Amino acid sequence: MELNNIDYNCFIGKWPFSWARQTDLDKLGIIHEAHGIDSGYVSCLDSVLYNDPMEGNLELAKFIKNTLYEMVPCMNPLLPNPERDFRISYESFDYRAVRIMPTVHGYDLDDPNLLEFAEIAASRQKGLIVHTTFGDPRLDYLLLQKPINLMKLPKLLEKTVDTPLLLCNIRLNEISELNDVLETYENIYIDMSELKHSMFSIEHLKEKGLLGRLVFGSFYPMFDFSGAYVHFRGADENTRDRILGNNIFQRGIK
């Protein structure tokens, strides 16, 4: 089924450091429906901090099955035998992309384990969703994130040239620094969840000709849902529809 408006950066489950940062599929569906979002690429929030993320992925899959939502397993490329997670995922649920959190799991974008992992994902024609941060690193005193160097992104992109790579939680100034990379690689996309740090970000990206690379991502329930959606205020309807309907993982991906 071809979906229209999509949230590429959403989770269900619980974040253990805050009582409020939790949701279930029903609540997510209600908030999406209220904002005209038809579906989402949803992952298990608990999985992010599980020793074996597949435990959470398999639980989430039970809820996602037979809904309009797309299952996105969280994975940690530093764990041995990454092929195993792709195999279990293939046997257990339909999925088009996998989600990784380098700042949480502690590796950079040129880590050999990640490059091997990316090769496996590409060989299986799965897109890669990469969180450049997992919430504002300045604020989280319980889970210190390891910063990544976005200038190393081309190393990763060399492994994924035929599959989409989505950068989530990236800031506008970081997008600007990646200008050459964005020009060189057409398979790289960015989400809206961290555009809050700048004003009129959509207008800026439109001027730069990057609207086709922009997708909607709320980072809900880590962020208030409207934190990203509010950026549409002032944008014309065509722009909003183009971003919400930018269906990057349904093009040539298994």
Partner 1 sequence: MIIDIHAHLWGHSYKENKIQLLKSAELFGFDRIYISSIMSYDPDEEEIDMLNNLTLGFMKEEPDLIGGFVYLNPKQSNSVEIMNRAIDEGMQGVKLWVAVLCDDERVNPIAENCMKSDVPMLVHSFHKATGQLESETVSTQVRNLALRYPELRIIMAHMGGNAYHGLRCISDLPNVYPDISGTPIGKGEIDYAVNQVGVDRLLFGTDMPYGGRQCVAQVEDSSLSEKDKEKIYYRNSMKVLGIE
Residue 233 binds partner 1 (CB under 8 A): yes
Q: How far apart are CA 244 and CA 239, in angstroms?
A: 9
Q: Are 32 and 67 in contact, with CB atoms under 8 Å apart? A: no
Q: Does 36 bind partner 1 (CB under 8 A)?
A: no
Which span (48-56, 117-125, 179-187, 198-206) binds partner 1, by CB under 8 A? Answer: 198-206
Residues 6 or more apart whose Cβ sits within 8 Å of residue 16:
46, 49
The correct pick among 6, 192, 222, 244 for binding partner 1 (CB under 8 A) is 222
The answer to whether 62 contacts partner 1 (rule: CB under 8 A) is: no
Among 141, 149, 173, 238, binds partner 1 (CB under 8 A): 141
By beta-carbon proximity to partner 1, the closer residue of 140 and 241 is: 140
Q: Is 196 in the site for partner 1 (CB under 8 A)?
A: yes
Which residue from 27, 67, 83, 144 is in contact with partner 1, where contact means CB under 8 A? 144
- DSSP letters spanning 36-92: T--EEEEEETGGGG-SSHHHHHHHHHHHHTTSSPEE--B--TTSS-THHHHHHHHHH
Q: If binding is defined by CB under 8 A, does position 108 make contact with partner 1?
A: no
* Position 252 contacts partner 1 (CB under 8 A): no
The footprint of partner 1 (CB under 8 A) covers 18-21, 135-141, 144, 196-200, 220-227, 229-231, 233-234
